[in-house]
Amino acid sequence: MTGCVVLFPVAFTFFITWWFVQFVDGFFSPLYAKLGVNIFGLGFLTSLAFIFLAGIFVSSWLGSTVFWVGEWFIKKMPFVKHIYSASKQVSTAISPDQNTTAFKEVAIIRHPRVGEYAFGFITSTVVLQTDKGDEELCSVYVPTNHLYIGDIFLLNSEEIIRPNLSIREGIEIIVSGGMTMPQVIASLDPIPRKSQSIRLNRIMT
């Protein structure tokens, strides 16, 4: 049993890596096979080079224009546009570009009961106009099925705990089911309070 416990993560890692290499290599390897070139991994390297060049092309003015036209056609297609929009929001959220308009901050809110917490992402702010006056609220997206499906909560900024976690760290925690949870989560508020010291056995992901 000890050997299985030790070897399972290693074997699983090699299996996923091998599957990924074969999957990416399969895009261009048939083309090389027709040319009579049978070198394993050449299709994988070609795919990586293609992705790199595509990123450079889209970063230019001409590439961004071509990409905008293609995106416009995709958004006009029924059913396909919903899949594209969801996948684009996720890719935008984990993009290294800090000027994106997706996830702003990682947030911890008290939900669904007192004493329980849930991870979410601050996406925007909104002003709620009532008879008592205007109140600025934060729109917090709480995923319920990995990142594609979730609920939206409007909370006052004072009711949101902002942990010392980046967007990528928050996504990793949710996707992994909490297995990548750090042992200690601190709040980014300038004046820490005792109630913001969160124990891991009280967090819902």
SS (H, E, C) 151-202: EEEEEEHHHCECECCCHHHHHHHHHCCCCCCCCCCCECCCCCCHHHCCCHHH
**Residue-level pLDDT at 201:** 44
**Residue-level pLDDT at 200:** 42
Mean pLDDT in residue range 45-65:
86
109 and 86 assigned to the same domain: no
Mean pLDDT in residue range 56-61:
86
Q: What does 68-106 look like in DSSP terms, one character per residue?
A: HHHHHHHHTSTTHHHHHHHHHHHHHHT-S-TT-SS--EE
Whether residue 204 has pLDDT greater than 60: no
79 and 123 assigned to the same domain: no
**Residue-level pLDDT at 32:** 81
Mean pLDDT in residue range 87-111:
70
How far apart CA 27 and CA 111 sit, in angstroms, is: 45
Residue 19 in domain = yes
Residue 158 in domain = yes
Mean pLDDT in residue range 140-166:
83
**Residue-level pLDDT at 205:** 45
Mean pLDDT in residue range 61-79:
85
130 and 84 assigned to the same domain: no
**Residue-level pLDDT at 193:** 44
67 and 149 assigned to the same domain: no
pLDDT-derived band at 191, boundaries 50, 70, 90: very low
66 and 152 assigned to the same domain: no
Single residue among 46, 65, 94 that ends a domain in this structure: 94
Burial of 22 (0-12, 13-18, 19+ CB in 10 A): middle
1 and 90 assigned to the same domain: yes
Among 35, 34, 16, which Cα is nearest to 24's? 16
Mean pLDDT in residue range 20-30:
81
54 and 3 assigned to the same domain: yes
**Number of domains observed in the structure of the chain:** 2
pLDDT-derived band at 123, boundaries 50, 70, 90: confident
Least confident of 106-115, 150-159, 192-201: 192-201
Residue 191 in domain = no
Whether residue 132 has pLDDT greater than 70: yes
**Residue-level pLDDT at 94:** 58
Single residue among 34, 59, 94 that ends a domain in this structure: 94
Residue 133 in domain = yes
How far apart CA 26 and CA 35 sit, in angstroms, is: 15
Residue 162 in domain = yes
Residue 160 in domain = yes
DSSP state of 1: -
Single residue among 94, 126, 146 that ends a domain in this structure: 94
85 and 20 assigned to the same domain: yes
What CA–CA distances, in Å, run from 52 to 57, 93, 96, 164?
A: 9, 20, 15, 32
- Length in residues, the chain: 205
Whether residue 15 has pLDDT greater than 70: yes
Whether residue 13 has pLDDT greater than 80: yes
83 and 163 assigned to the same domain: no
Average pLDDT of every residue of the chain: 79
Domain carrying residue 38: 1-94
Residue 55 in domain = yes
Count of C-beta atoms within a 10 Å radius of residue 57: 13
**Residue-level pLDDT at 99:** 52
**Residue-level pLDDT at 133:** 83
Residue 60 in domain = yes
